[in-house]
């Protein structure tokens, strides 16, 4: 994969994100860490109650259960939105000229759905893989050999 100098590389999933800048010369990937973000995996009882709510349908005294809320999914989406909002601010301030997004399929779907237009216009490549577990050296090698 060819990544231009100064292009930002975002490696994210639902609970962590690392943002790098390519400082390598032409044809070379040398990533420098800009920042990381992560969230503590909270237990369900720490997030709130997970019992489904009850609604009164207006016909008699009976109440019906509503669909339960997936509290973990809501927290994960909130994390991804915060990462996207920070990136949008970076783009708006002129710090980020181009962007490569790397995320596993479910996270990439949510990123695509919730990405602000100004940020989406800076995305030059998307890689639908989970590389959050890779160290910086492994990530550089993997990106160099991707799509050769």
| CATH number of the CATH domain containing 111 | 3.30.420.60
What percent of the chain clears pLDDT 90, i.e. is strictly above it? 66
Q: Please report the pLDDT score of residue 52 as a whole number.
A: 54
Taking the model in full, what pTM does it have? 0.79
pLDDT the model gives residue 45: 46
Q: Taking 50 as the threshold, does the pLDDT of residue 94 lie above it?
A: yes
In a domain, 118, yes or no: yes
Q: For the segment 18-74, what is each residue's pLDDT rounded down to a tens digit?
A: 999 999 988 899 999 999 998 655 555 454 555 555 555 555 566 555 555 556 678
Judge whether 55 lies within some domain: no
Q: What pLDDT is stored for residue 47 in this prediction?
A: 46
Q: What is the rounded CA–CA span in Å between residue 96 and residue 117?
A: 14
Radius of gyration for the alpha carbons in the chain, expressed in angstroms and rounded? 20
Domain that holds residue 119: 1-35+72-148
Query: Does 26 map to a domain?
Result: yes
Longest dimension (CA), the chain: 73
Report, as an integer, the average pLDDT of 79-95: 95
Domain annotation covers residue 144: yes
Residue 28: inside a domain: yes
Q: What is the mean pLDDT of residues 104-113?
A: 95
Tell me how far the alpha carbon of residue 18 is from its chain's centroid: 9
Cα 123 to chain centroid, rounded: 13
99 in any annotated domain: yes
- State how beta strands 8-12 and 63-65 pair: unpaired
Whether residue 143 lies inside any domain: the answer is: yes
Q: What total of structural domains would you count in the chain?
A: 1
d(CA 121, CA 109): 17
Whether 137 and 3 have beta carbons less than 8 Å apart is answered as no
In a domain? residue 51: no
Q: In the chain, where do the E strands start and end?
A: 8-12, 16-22, 31-38, 54-56, 63-65, 99-102, 123-127
């Amino acid at each position: 994969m060819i990544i231009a100098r100064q292009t930002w590389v975002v490696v994210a999933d639902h609970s962590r994100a690392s943002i790098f800048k390519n400082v390598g010369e032409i044809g070379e990937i040398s990533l420098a860490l800009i920042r990381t973000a992560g969230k503590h995996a909270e237990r369900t009882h720490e997030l709130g109650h997970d019992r489904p709510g009850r609604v009164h349908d207006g016909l008699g005294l009976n109440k019906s259960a509503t669909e339960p809320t997936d509290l973990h999914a809501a927290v994960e989406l909130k994390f991804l939105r915060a990462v996207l909002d920070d990136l949008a601010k970076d783009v708006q301030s002129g710090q980020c000229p181009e962007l490569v997004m790397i995320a596993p399929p479910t996270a990439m779907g949510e990123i695509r759905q919730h990405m602000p237009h100004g940020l989406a216009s800076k995305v030059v490549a998307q890689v639908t893989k989970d590389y959050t577990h890779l160290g910086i050296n492994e990530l550089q090698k993997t990106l160099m050999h991707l799509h050769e």
